Protein backbone atom coordinates (compact mmCIF):
# COMPACT_ATOMS: atom_id res chain seq x y z
CA UNK A 1 0.00 0.00 0.00
CA UNK A 2 1.75 3.10 -1.23
CA UNK A 3 1.19 6.83 -1.48
CA UNK A 4 1.53 7.83 -5.14
CA UNK A 5 4.21 10.47 -4.53
CA UNK A 6 6.22 7.74 -2.83
CA UNK A 7 6.31 5.89 -6.14
CA UNK A 8 7.81 8.58 -8.34
CA UNK A 9 10.41 6.07 -9.53
CA UNK A 10 7.90 3.25 -9.88
CA UNK A 11 5.49 4.75 -12.40
CA UNK A 12 6.27 4.18 -16.03
CA UNK A 13 5.49 6.76 -18.69
CA UNK A 14 2.09 5.74 -19.99
CA UNK A 15 3.35 5.41 -23.54
CA UNK A 16 6.02 2.92 -22.44
CA UNK A 17 3.29 0.50 -21.40
CA UNK A 18 1.37 0.90 -24.66
CA UNK A 19 -1.76 0.37 -22.57
CA UNK A 20 -4.70 2.69 -21.99
CA UNK A 21 -4.62 2.74 -18.19
CA UNK A 22 -2.05 2.94 -15.42
CA UNK A 23 -4.09 0.65 -13.16
CA UNK A 24 -6.39 -2.28 -13.74
CA UNK A 25 -8.31 -4.63 -11.46
CA UNK A 26 -7.62 -8.32 -12.07
CA UNK A 27 -10.69 -9.97 -13.60
CA UNK A 28 -9.53 -13.58 -13.25
CA UNK A 29 -11.85 -15.74 -11.12
CA UNK A 30 -10.59 -17.86 -8.25
CA UNK A 31 -9.64 -21.40 -9.30
CA UNK A 32 -12.01 -24.21 -8.35
CA UNK A 33 -10.77 -27.81 -7.86
CA UNK A 34 -11.80 -30.32 -10.53
CA UNK A 35 -15.04 -32.06 -9.40
CA UNK A 36 -14.63 -35.57 -7.93
CA UNK A 37 -10.85 -35.53 -8.49
CA UNK A 38 -10.24 -32.57 -6.21
CA UNK A 39 -7.11 -31.50 -8.11
CA UNK A 40 -6.51 -27.81 -8.64
CA UNK A 41 -5.88 -26.67 -12.25
CA UNK A 42 -2.49 -25.02 -12.64
CA UNK A 43 -3.93 -21.92 -14.32
CA UNK A 44 -0.98 -21.56 -16.70
CA UNK A 45 -1.66 -19.16 -19.62
CA UNK A 46 -1.89 -20.64 -23.13
CA UNK A 47 1.50 -21.53 -24.65
CA UNK A 48 1.09 -18.93 -27.38
CA UNK A 49 0.91 -16.19 -24.71
CA UNK A 50 4.26 -14.45 -24.23
CA UNK A 51 5.63 -13.37 -20.85
CA UNK A 52 5.54 -9.66 -21.68
CA UNK A 53 1.76 -9.05 -21.49
CA UNK A 54 1.53 -11.20 -18.35
CA UNK A 55 4.16 -9.07 -16.59
CA UNK A 56 2.69 -5.80 -17.87
CA UNK A 57 -0.67 -6.90 -16.46
CA UNK A 58 1.03 -7.57 -13.12
CA UNK A 59 2.20 -3.95 -12.97
CA UNK A 60 -1.30 -2.66 -13.71
CA UNK A 61 -2.72 -4.91 -10.98
CA UNK A 62 -0.07 -3.63 -8.55
CA UNK A 63 -1.02 0.00 -9.22
CA UNK A 64 -4.71 -0.82 -8.72
CA UNK A 65 -4.34 -2.83 -5.52
CA UNK A 66 -1.49 -1.13 -3.68
CA UNK A 67 -1.37 2.56 -4.70
CA UNK A 68 -3.78 4.70 -2.69
CA UNK A 69 -3.64 8.02 -4.52
CA UNK A 70 -3.56 7.79 -8.30
CA UNK A 71 -1.81 11.04 -9.11
CA UNK A 72 -0.22 10.38 -12.52
CA UNK A 73 3.54 10.80 -12.34
CA UNK A 74 5.46 10.07 -15.53
CA UNK A 75 8.91 8.68 -14.87
CA UNK A 76 10.16 6.14 -17.45
CA UNK A 77 12.17 3.25 -16.02
CA UNK A 78 13.50 0.02 -17.47
CA UNK A 79 10.81 -2.67 -17.40
CA UNK A 80 13.51 -5.16 -16.37
CA UNK A 81 14.80 -3.04 -13.49
CA UNK A 82 14.83 -4.34 -9.93
CA UNK A 83 12.14 -1.86 -8.95
CA UNK A 84 9.74 -2.91 -11.72
CA UNK A 85 10.42 -6.56 -10.89
CA UNK A 86 9.60 -5.93 -7.22
CA UNK A 87 6.21 -4.46 -8.19
CA UNK A 88 5.43 -7.53 -10.29
CA UNK A 89 6.45 -9.88 -7.46
CA UNK A 90 3.97 -8.30 -5.04
CA UNK A 91 1.16 -8.40 -7.61
CA UNK A 92 1.81 -12.04 -8.54
CA UNK A 93 1.96 -13.34 -4.97
CA UNK A 94 -1.11 -11.48 -3.69
CA UNK A 95 -3.25 -12.52 -6.66
CA UNK A 96 -1.87 -16.05 -6.70
CA UNK A 97 -2.92 -16.44 -3.07
CA UNK A 98 -6.43 -15.01 -3.20
CA UNK A 99 -7.26 -16.50 -6.62
CA UNK A 100 -5.76 -19.90 -5.65
CA UNK A 101 -3.55 -19.91 -8.76
CA UNK A 102 -0.24 -21.73 -8.09
CA UNK A 103 1.19 -20.49 -11.39
CA UNK A 104 1.17 -16.89 -10.18
CA UNK A 105 2.59 -17.78 -6.77
CA UNK A 106 5.44 -19.76 -8.36
CA UNK A 107 6.13 -16.91 -10.77
CA UNK A 108 6.42 -14.51 -7.84
CA UNK A 109 8.77 -16.92 -6.10
CA UNK A 110 11.06 -17.21 -9.14
CA UNK A 111 11.14 -13.44 -9.68
CA UNK A 112 11.79 -12.91 -5.95
CA UNK A 113 14.92 -15.05 -5.99
CA UNK A 114 16.07 -13.49 -9.26
CA UNK A 115 15.72 -10.09 -7.62
CA UNK A 116 17.65 -11.15 -4.52
CA UNK A 117 20.43 -12.51 -6.74
CA UNK A 118 20.52 -9.30 -8.77
CA UNK A 119 20.69 -7.12 -5.66
CA UNK A 120 23.39 -9.33 -4.09
CA UNK A 121 25.47 -9.29 -7.27
CA UNK A 122 25.26 -5.51 -7.55
CA UNK A 123 25.38 -4.66 -3.85
CA UNK A 124 28.70 -2.83 -4.27
CA UNK A 125 26.97 -0.43 -6.66
CA UNK A 126 24.29 0.46 -4.14
CA UNK A 127 24.47 3.18 -1.53
CA UNK A 128 22.33 2.28 1.48
CA UNK A 129 20.54 5.59 1.64
CA UNK A 130 16.97 6.83 1.38
CA UNK A 131 18.37 9.36 -1.08
CA UNK A 132 18.31 6.43 -3.55
CA UNK A 133 14.50 6.24 -3.86
CA UNK A 134 14.49 3.35 -6.34
CA UNK A 135 16.54 1.15 -3.99
CA UNK A 136 14.55 2.20 -0.93
CA UNK A 137 11.25 1.45 -2.69
CA UNK A 138 12.59 -1.95 -3.82
CA UNK A 139 13.53 -2.92 -0.26
CA UNK A 140 10.08 -1.85 0.99
CA UNK A 141 8.46 -3.98 -1.70
CA UNK A 142 10.53 -6.99 -0.61
CA UNK A 143 9.07 -6.61 2.88
CA UNK A 144 5.61 -6.30 1.35
CA UNK A 145 6.21 -9.53 -0.59
CA UNK A 146 7.04 -11.29 2.67
CA UNK A 147 3.89 -9.91 4.27
CA UNK A 148 1.81 -11.27 1.38
CA UNK A 149 3.56 -14.66 1.28
CA UNK A 150 4.01 -15.37 4.98
CA UNK A 151 2.76 -18.96 4.70
CA UNK A 152 3.57 -19.79 1.06
CA UNK A 153 4.97 -23.30 0.56
CA UNK A 154 8.40 -23.41 -1.04
CA UNK A 155 8.02 -25.16 -4.41
CA UNK A 156 11.29 -27.07 -4.10
CA UNK A 157 10.62 -28.02 -0.46
CA UNK A 158 6.84 -28.59 -0.44
CA UNK A 159 6.87 -30.10 3.04
CA UNK A 160 8.12 -26.86 4.58
CA UNK A 161 6.51 -23.52 5.10
CA UNK A 162 8.13 -20.25 6.09
CA UNK A 163 6.98 -17.01 7.64
CA UNK A 164 9.07 -14.95 5.27
CA UNK A 165 12.32 -13.04 5.63
CA UNK A 166 10.31 -10.12 6.88
CA UNK A 167 12.74 -9.11 9.62
CA UNK A 168 15.77 -9.41 7.31
CA UNK A 169 14.39 -6.95 4.76
CA UNK A 170 12.95 -4.73 7.50
CA UNK A 171 16.47 -4.66 8.96
CA UNK A 172 17.71 -3.42 5.58
CA UNK A 173 15.20 -0.59 5.80
CA UNK A 174 16.43 0.17 9.31
CA UNK A 175 20.01 0.44 8.02
CA UNK A 176 18.96 2.76 5.20
CA UNK A 177 16.85 4.97 7.45
CA UNK A 178 19.39 4.90 10.30
CA UNK A 179 16.57 4.86 12.79
CA UNK A 180 15.13 2.15 15.01
CA UNK A 181 12.85 -0.25 13.12
CA UNK A 182 9.60 0.80 14.81
CA UNK A 183 6.57 2.82 13.65
CA UNK A 184 7.09 5.49 16.33
CA UNK A 185 10.71 5.96 15.23
CA UNK A 186 9.37 6.69 11.76
CA UNK A 187 7.05 9.35 13.19
CA UNK A 188 9.97 10.86 15.10
CA UNK A 189 12.03 10.98 11.91
CA UNK A 190 9.41 13.16 10.28
CA UNK A 191 9.50 15.62 13.16
CA UNK A 192 13.31 15.85 13.13
CA UNK A 193 13.76 16.59 9.42
CA UNK A 194 14.96 13.13 8.37
CA UNK A 195 16.12 12.90 4.69
CA UNK A 196 13.29 10.42 4.12
CA UNK A 197 10.84 13.34 4.28
CA UNK A 198 12.84 15.70 2.07
CA UNK A 199 10.79 16.75 -0.91
CA UNK A 200 7.63 15.53 0.79
CA UNK A 201 4.63 17.82 0.80
CA UNK A 202 4.16 17.10 4.50
CA UNK A 203 6.47 16.30 7.41
CA UNK A 204 4.08 13.94 9.12
CA UNK A 205 2.23 10.78 8.13
CA UNK A 206 -1.24 11.24 9.62
CA UNK A 207 -2.48 14.63 8.46
CA UNK A 208 -5.84 16.31 8.94
CA UNK A 209 -7.60 19.39 7.64
CA UNK A 210 -7.32 21.01 11.09
CA UNK A 211 -5.25 24.19 10.84
CA UNK A 212 -4.52 24.57 14.53
CA UNK A 213 -1.35 23.96 16.53
CA UNK A 214 0.97 21.51 14.76
CA UNK A 215 1.60 19.82 18.09
CA UNK A 216 -1.96 18.54 17.92
CA UNK A 217 -1.15 16.48 14.79
CA UNK A 218 -1.81 12.80 15.30
CA UNK A 219 1.91 12.10 14.74
CA UNK A 220 2.81 14.21 17.80
CA UNK A 221 0.13 12.57 19.92
CA UNK A 222 1.22 9.04 18.99
CA UNK A 223 4.83 9.95 19.79
CA UNK A 224 3.70 11.15 23.22
CA UNK A 225 2.47 7.60 23.86
CA UNK A 226 6.01 6.25 23.66
CA UNK A 227 7.18 7.58 27.03
CA UNK A 228 4.01 6.37 28.77
CA UNK A 229 4.17 2.97 27.11
CA UNK A 230 7.85 2.38 27.99
CA UNK A 231 7.27 3.28 31.65
CA UNK A 232 4.24 0.98 31.85
CA UNK A 233 6.28 -1.89 30.37
CA UNK A 234 9.04 -1.21 32.90
CA UNK A 235 6.52 -1.35 35.73
CA UNK A 236 5.12 -4.69 34.52
CA UNK A 237 8.60 -6.20 34.21
CA UNK A 238 9.73 -4.88 37.60
CA UNK A 239 6.93 -3.50 39.85
CA UNK A 240 9.50 -2.28 42.38
CA UNK A 241 11.08 0.08 39.82
CA UNK A 242 8.25 2.63 40.09
CA UNK A 243 6.69 3.94 43.30
CA UNK A 244 3.01 4.71 43.76
CA UNK A 245 3.48 8.42 43.10
CA UNK A 246 5.14 7.69 39.74
CA UNK A 247 2.40 5.20 38.86
CA UNK A 248 -0.25 7.81 39.61
CA UNK A 249 1.61 10.30 37.41
CA UNK A 250 1.67 7.79 34.53
CA UNK A 251 -2.06 7.28 34.94
CA UNK A 252 -2.71 11.02 34.84
CA UNK A 253 -0.50 11.46 31.75
CA UNK A 254 -2.31 8.60 30.00
CA UNK A 255 -5.72 10.08 30.74
CA UNK A 256 -4.56 13.53 29.59
CA UNK A 257 -3.20 12.09 26.36
CA UNK A 258 -6.43 10.18 25.82
CA UNK A 259 -8.30 13.48 26.13
CA UNK A 260 -5.96 15.05 23.57
CA UNK A 261 -6.60 12.15 21.18
CA UNK A 262 -10.34 12.60 21.65
CA UNK A 263 -9.95 16.34 21.04
CA UNK A 264 -8.03 15.62 17.82
CA UNK A 265 -10.96 13.46 16.72
CA UNK A 266 -13.43 16.24 17.54
CA UNK A 267 -11.51 18.77 15.39
CA UNK A 268 -12.29 16.71 12.30
CA UNK A 269 -15.76 17.60 11.12
CA UNK A 270 -17.88 14.93 9.49
CA UNK A 271 -17.66 16.62 6.11
CA UNK A 272 -13.86 16.87 6.11
CA UNK A 273 -13.20 13.15 6.47
CA UNK A 274 -16.16 11.68 4.64
CA UNK A 275 -17.68 10.27 7.82
CA UNK A 276 -21.03 8.54 7.35
CA UNK A 277 -23.16 8.36 10.54
CA UNK A 278 -24.28 4.94 11.71
CA UNK A 279 -22.82 1.64 12.79
CA UNK A 280 -20.72 1.41 9.61
CA UNK A 281 -18.47 4.37 8.80
CA UNK A 282 -17.93 5.52 5.21
CA UNK A 283 -14.77 7.32 4.07
CA UNK A 284 -13.62 8.96 0.86
CA UNK A 285 -10.52 6.75 0.60
CA UNK A 286 -8.55 4.04 2.36
CA UNK A 287 -5.93 6.47 3.67
CA UNK A 288 -8.51 8.33 5.76
CA UNK A 289 -10.03 5.05 6.97
CA UNK A 290 -6.55 3.84 7.92
CA UNK A 291 -5.82 7.00 9.92
CA UNK A 292 -9.04 6.55 11.88
CA UNK A 293 -8.24 2.89 12.65
CA UNK A 294 -4.74 3.78 13.87
CA UNK A 295 -6.08 6.64 15.99
CA UNK A 296 -8.63 4.39 17.67
CA UNK A 297 -6.30 1.50 18.36
CA UNK A 298 -3.80 3.99 19.88
CA UNK A 299 -6.51 5.15 22.26
CA UNK A 300 -7.33 1.54 23.12
CA UNK A 301 -3.70 0.88 24.06
CA UNK A 302 -3.87 3.77 26.54
CA UNK A 303 -7.30 2.99 27.90
CA UNK A 304 -6.29 -0.64 28.43
CA UNK A 305 -4.38 0.71 31.44
CA UNK A 306 -7.01 3.02 32.88
CA UNK A 307 -10.49 2.89 31.34
CA UNK A 308 -13.17 0.71 29.78
CA UNK A 309 -12.78 0.76 25.97
CA UNK A 310 -16.05 -0.88 24.86
CA UNK A 311 -17.30 2.15 22.92
CA UNK A 312 -13.99 2.60 21.12
CA UNK A 313 -13.96 -1.07 20.16
CA UNK A 314 -17.38 -0.65 18.59
CA UNK A 315 -16.00 2.26 16.58
CA UNK A 316 -13.03 0.17 15.41
CA UNK A 317 -15.33 -2.58 14.18
CA UNK A 318 -17.54 0.01 12.48
CA UNK A 319 -14.64 0.96 10.19
CA UNK A 320 -13.76 -2.63 9.28
CA UNK A 321 -16.22 -2.98 6.32
CA UNK A 322 -14.64 0.02 4.57
CA UNK A 323 -11.38 -1.90 4.12
CA UNK A 324 -12.28 -5.31 2.65
CA UNK A 325 -15.17 -4.45 0.33
CA UNK A 326 -14.97 -3.09 -3.21
CA UNK A 327 -18.42 -1.45 -3.12
CA UNK A 328 -19.32 -0.13 0.34
CA UNK A 329 -22.71 1.39 -0.67
CA UNK A 330 -23.76 -2.00 -2.08
CA UNK A 331 -22.57 -3.69 1.11
CA UNK A 332 -24.58 -1.24 3.24
CA UNK A 333 -27.72 -1.64 1.13
CA UNK A 334 -27.58 -5.41 1.61
CA UNK A 335 -26.70 -5.31 5.30
CA UNK A 336 -28.83 -7.87 7.11
CA UNK A 337 -29.65 -9.67 3.85
CA UNK A 338 -26.27 -10.90 2.60
CA UNK A 339 -24.06 -12.94 4.92
CA UNK A 340 -20.82 -12.25 3.07
CA UNK A 341 -18.93 -9.59 1.13
CA UNK A 342 -19.63 -10.20 -2.56
CA UNK A 343 -16.76 -8.19 -3.99
CA UNK A 344 -13.51 -8.09 -1.97
CA UNK A 345 -11.70 -4.77 -2.30
CA UNK A 346 -8.12 -3.66 -2.86
CA UNK A 347 -5.20 -5.20 -1.00
CA UNK A 348 -4.21 -1.76 0.33
CA UNK A 349 -7.30 -1.84 2.54
CA UNK A 350 -6.19 -5.15 4.05
CA UNK A 351 -2.72 -3.79 4.82
CA UNK A 352 -4.14 -0.75 6.59
CA UNK A 353 -6.59 -2.84 8.61
CA UNK A 354 -4.40 -5.80 9.55
CA UNK A 355 -2.16 -4.36 12.27
CA UNK A 356 -4.82 -2.33 14.18
CA UNK A 357 -7.15 -5.36 14.19
CA UNK A 358 -4.40 -7.67 15.45
CA UNK A 359 -3.43 -5.28 18.27
CA UNK A 360 -7.07 -4.91 19.30
CA UNK A 361 -7.49 -8.71 19.30
CA UNK A 362 -4.68 -9.01 21.88
CA UNK A 363 -5.99 -6.53 24.45
CA UNK A 364 -7.22 -8.00 27.72
CA UNK A 365 -10.11 -5.53 27.89
CA UNK A 366 -11.61 -6.86 24.67
CA UNK A 367 -14.35 -9.45 25.31
CA UNK A 368 -13.44 -12.97 24.19
CA UNK A 369 -16.24 -13.05 21.61
CA UNK A 370 -14.97 -9.82 20.06
CA UNK A 371 -11.39 -11.12 20.01
CA UNK A 372 -12.55 -14.22 18.12
CA UNK A 373 -14.43 -12.03 15.64
CA UNK A 374 -11.32 -9.92 15.01
CA UNK A 375 -9.28 -13.08 14.38
CA UNK A 376 -11.95 -14.23 11.93
CA UNK A 377 -11.50 -10.89 10.14
CA UNK A 378 -7.76 -11.58 9.83
CA UNK A 379 -8.44 -15.06 8.44
CA UNK A 380 -10.84 -13.55 5.89
CA UNK A 381 -8.16 -11.08 4.79
CA UNK A 382 -5.75 -13.95 4.13
CA UNK A 383 -8.26 -15.99 2.12
CA UNK A 384 -9.94 -13.27 0.06
CA UNK A 385 -7.38 -10.46 -0.14
CA UNK A 386 -4.14 -12.38 -0.60
CA UNK A 387 -2.22 -11.14 2.48
CA UNK A 388 -0.92 -14.31 4.10
CA UNK A 389 0.62 -12.58 7.11
CA UNK A 390 -2.94 -12.00 8.30
CA UNK A 391 -3.23 -15.78 8.79
CA UNK A 392 -0.18 -15.68 11.06
CA UNK A 393 -1.78 -12.93 13.13
CA UNK A 394 -5.02 -14.91 13.32
CA UNK A 395 -3.48 -18.26 14.29
CA UNK A 396 -0.26 -17.59 16.20
CA UNK A 397 -0.45 -17.75 19.98
CA UNK A 398 2.04 -14.88 20.13
CA UNK A 399 3.73 -12.64 17.55
CA UNK A 400 7.13 -11.16 18.37
CA UNK A 401 6.76 -7.38 18.88
CA UNK A 402 9.65 -6.60 16.50
CA UNK A 403 8.08 -8.71 13.75
CA UNK A 404 4.84 -6.78 14.19
CA UNK A 405 6.62 -3.41 14.38
CA UNK A 406 8.64 -4.01 11.20
CA UNK A 407 5.57 -4.75 9.10
CA UNK A 408 3.62 -1.86 10.57
CA UNK A 409 6.51 0.49 9.81
CA UNK A 410 6.53 -0.59 6.15
CA UNK A 411 2.80 0.11 5.86
CA UNK A 412 3.24 3.53 7.45
CA UNK A 413 6.10 4.49 5.08
CA UNK A 414 3.63 3.83 2.27
CA UNK A 415 1.37 6.59 3.63
CA UNK A 416 3.99 9.31 3.22
CA UNK A 417 3.56 11.80 0.45
250 and 341 both lie in a single domain: yes
371 and 224 both lie in a single domain: yes
Residue 241 lies in a domain: yes
pLDDT of residue 21: 52
pLDDT of residue 64: 84
What does the DSSP assignment read for 99-127?
TT-HHHHHHHHHHHHHHHHHHHHTGGG--
Residue 411 lies in a domain: yes
User: Rounded to 5 degrees, what angle do the CA atoms 132, 62, 124 make?
Assistant: 25
Which contacts qualify for 393-402: CB closer than 8 Å, 24 or more apart?
Answer: 393/354, 393/357, 393/358, 393/361, 399/358, 402/167, 402/181
Residue 326 lies in a domain: yes
> Along the chain (417 residues), what's the average pLDDT of each consecutive run of 10 residues?
41 35 74 68 60 78 74 49 88 87 87 85 58 76 84 41 56 72 78 67 63 66 86 78 76 88 75 51 72 83 60 71 77 71 83 89 84 91 88 88 84 74
Q: 27: phi > 0 → left, psi -120 to 50 → alpha, else beta; which?
A: alpha
pLDDT of residue 398: 84
167 and 234 both lie in a single domain: no
Number of Cβ within 10 Å of residue 251's Cβ equals 14
pLDDT of residue 407: 85
Per-residue CA distances from 250 to 232, 304, 309 (Å) = 8, 13, 18
222 and 360 both lie in a single domain: yes
Residue 193 lies in a domain: no
Helix (H/G/I), strand (E/B), else coil: 325: strand
Residue 175 lies in a domain: yes
User: Among 143, 167, 188, which residue terminates a domain?
Assistant: 188
pLDDT of residue 375: 93
Residue 206 lies in a domain: no
pLDDT of residue 161: 42
Closest CA relative to residue 77, chosen from 153, 28, 11, 173: 11
159 and 237 both lie in a single domain: no
Which residue range(s) make up the domain with 100? 49-188
Asked whether 261 and 221 are in contact (CB, 8 A), the reply is yes
Nearest-angstrom CA–CA distance, 241 and 236: 9
368 and 287 both lie in a single domain: yes
pTM of the predicted structure, to 2 decimals? 0.66
166 and 269 both lie in a single domain: no
303 and 401 both lie in a single domain: yes
Q: Is 402 exposed, middle or buried (0-12, 13-18, 19+ CB in 10 A)?
A: middle
pLDDT of residue 36: 64
264 and 153 both lie in a single domain: no
pLDDT of residue 358: 93
155 and 236 both lie in a single domain: no
Residue 332 lies in a domain: yes
Residues 6+ apart with CB under 8 A from 224: 257, 260
284 and 183 both lie in a single domain: no
Total structural domains within the chain: 2
256 and 389 both lie in a single domain: yes
pLDDT of residue 201: 53
Residue 261 lies in a domain: yes
Nearest-angstrom CA–CA distance, 268 and 274: 10
User: Among 170, 188, 206, which residue terminates a domain?
Assistant: 188
User: Among 169, 188, 207, which residue terminates a domain?
Assistant: 188
Amino acid sequence: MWHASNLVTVYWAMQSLSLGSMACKCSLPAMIPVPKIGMLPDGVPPKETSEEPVEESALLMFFYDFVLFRRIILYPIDSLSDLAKACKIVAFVSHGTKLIRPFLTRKAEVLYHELLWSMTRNIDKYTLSVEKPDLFATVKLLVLYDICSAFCKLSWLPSLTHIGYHNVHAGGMEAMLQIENTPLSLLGAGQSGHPLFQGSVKKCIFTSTHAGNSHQDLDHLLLAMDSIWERVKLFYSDPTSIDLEDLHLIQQEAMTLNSRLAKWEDTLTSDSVGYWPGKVDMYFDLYVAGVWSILRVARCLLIDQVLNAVRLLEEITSSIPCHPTEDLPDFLSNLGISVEIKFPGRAAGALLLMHPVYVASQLSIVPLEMREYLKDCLTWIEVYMGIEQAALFAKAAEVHPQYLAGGCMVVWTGLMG
